[in-house]
Chain A
């Protein structure tokens, strides 16, 4: 069965890339591109230039086939039933867990399947809030008390978070009486690390931040922030939505307590994401959603719960999606995450240089020649076109078959801080070619002219 996913024998891809493998160049990107049926089409009379992978990635045939193969050969409910298909489905589901967990440096039982990263982050927030209620009502042991929050406790985020890593903490603070604080950013979007050192202190119980910004294209100073949090025994929640698809990720090496990521941004289908949590934390936290498949004993009065990860997987699960997610990480691992990251840094630089060279266009995040916190820009670049609303920029580009994201990218506070209500964002992935970026930059140079504003390409 060629499509069965085999757990990685090694920790993530970077561990396997001894020596110096050949760089992922444009010729290879062209070959990769042919694995993605959706990229082989015309849009509005032009070949599709897909620069919206930061929103969702396209899917290779191997992923589409893995999902179809599951339904054709192994479809059954998992962790129940004694028949052969149920056994095969359970094996495929748990093999997929091991594969995706290994991809991010975790053990299989430290990876919980969720619908998406938003649900993963909400799961942590609701588990903490349930721990607070359990502790108040005298349920559970001392292990549980360390998650309980109340007045005087502080939850810390940053000003640049995606709404999915902001609102769950706002609501957790509201439910428990804790205070939500944030690490501010400067006029360009850089985290104020001096302020972080002041804010993260004895009252801090939890720090949540994104590994890589979905707007700025910057990679956060994870080591420094984790160190600040752990010095005061605060839990660290990492939003890895934009890092897991684009760079090697080893949650244990980073030392975070929880990490959330989405399948659909990394070649997998929609409808599946994952939460990594340190084993001892997942086993001690109360469940979020409750019901079938996550219990040991149920009476009419109460229930006892399984250990993680089943503890957090109530109801029939996303089985075919999990299998396809494993096929997606197999594709990424075989391509090599170091190579993908290095490629995307080059594409990010090409995007940034092209955008910054156009008169009347403001590039957000690091300047083309800048590295923030010692990391190059990854393959995302958002920008503001003077006098032309992002929606109109996107419409113009779409008329040429170029797909970009417009709006606030689920980061309203960040945009407000940068003096904007919306921006346009181009984002690359392993199938993006230099020709894609050049077509986009050439079209962008014409936008202001189309809308009756002076525009000329920079020198």
Chain B
């Protein structure tokens, strides 16, 4: 296993760019439609992520997050933001399920770029058992927040 299979460029880029990070920009519109929020903590490493999901007109209107943690956990939250916004409930859950199946497969399940987009870059993480939780933390929070938002 080479380190570069874990830290693909897409992941390193997202860990710095951090799309969808910060709640300040969206509060007004999200307040208007109501939103779900979930805070998740990995007690092993102290990584934490809070995700807010607002649903309007039958789609994820907004998914934003705040958190701190390793590059894998931050990049996966950033990628999730890009993929989830605009998704229908079915697409959102299909995305989360596909990501979970791939990430927990210990390298057995190939990522489908059609479904996972940039999240396919996390395929290498599935072979590092200690990092699977890092990749999943934002997605677990998003699933919980989406449930609270009614989808």
How far is A391 from B72 in the complex, measured between Cα atoms in Å? Answer: 9
Task: Let me know if A395 and B131 touch, CB within 8 A.
Answer: yes
How far is A388 from B12 in the complex, measured between Cα atoms in Å? Answer: 11
Task: Let me know if B16 and A395 touch, CB within 8 A.
Answer: no
**A/B pair count, beta carbons within 8 Å:** 48
Contact of A391 among B2, B3, B48, B134 (CB under 8 A): B134
B14 nearest CB across to chain A (Å): 12
A383 nearest CB across to chain B (Å): 16
Which of A84-92, A191-199, A404-412 lies at the interface with chain B?
A404-412
Task: Let me know if A391 and B16 touch, CB within 8 A.
Answer: no
B18 nearest CB across to chain A (Å): 12
How far is A422 from B128 in the complex, measured between Cα atoms in Å? Answer: 20
What is the interface size of chain A, counting residues whose CB is below 8 A from a CB of the partner? 19
Task: Let me know if B68 and A421 touch, CB within 8 A.
Answer: yes
B67 nearest CB across to chain A (Å): 11
Which residue, of A392, A407, A450, has the highest number of chain B Cβ atoms within 10 A? A392
Task: Let me know if B46 and A452 touch, CB within 8 A.
Answer: no
**Is B21 at the interface (CB under 8 A from chain A)?**
no
Task: Let me know if A391 and B70 touch, CB within 8 A.
Answer: yes
**Is B40 at the interface (CB under 8 A from chain A)?**
no
Contact of B3 among A388, A396, A407, A421 (CB under 8 A): A396
Interface of B is mostly: mixed
Task: Let me know if B45 and A406 touch, CB within 8 A.
Answer: yes
B137 nearest CB across to chain A (Å): 12
Please, which residues of chain B bring their CB within 8 A of the CB of A407?
A: 44-46
Please, which residues of chain B bring their CB within 8 A of the CB of A408?
A: 45-46
Closest to A422 in B: B46
How far is A408 from B47 in the complex, measured between Cα atoms in Å? Answer: 11
Please, which residues of chain A bring their CB within 8 A of the CB of B48?
A: 421
How far is A389 from B1 in the complex, measured between Cα atoms in Å? Answer: 21
Please, which residues of chain B bring their CB within 8 A of the CB of A450?
A: 3, 7
How far is A395 from B69 in the complex, measured between Cα atoms in Å? Answer: 14
Contact of A451 among B2, B45, B47, B71 (CB under 8 A): B71
Closest to A412 in B: B46
Contact A395/B6 with A390-B45, A421-B68 known, Cβ cut-off 8 Å: yes
What would 10 more interface pairs be, CB under 8 Å, given A390-B70, A391-B134, A415-B46? Answer: A44-B1, A389-B74, A391-B69, A391-B70, A392-B7, A395-B131, A396-B3, A407-B46, A421-B48, A452-B16
Q: Pick the 5 closest A-B CB pairs, nearest first.
A: A391-B70, A389-B70, A399-B3, A421-B46, A407-B45
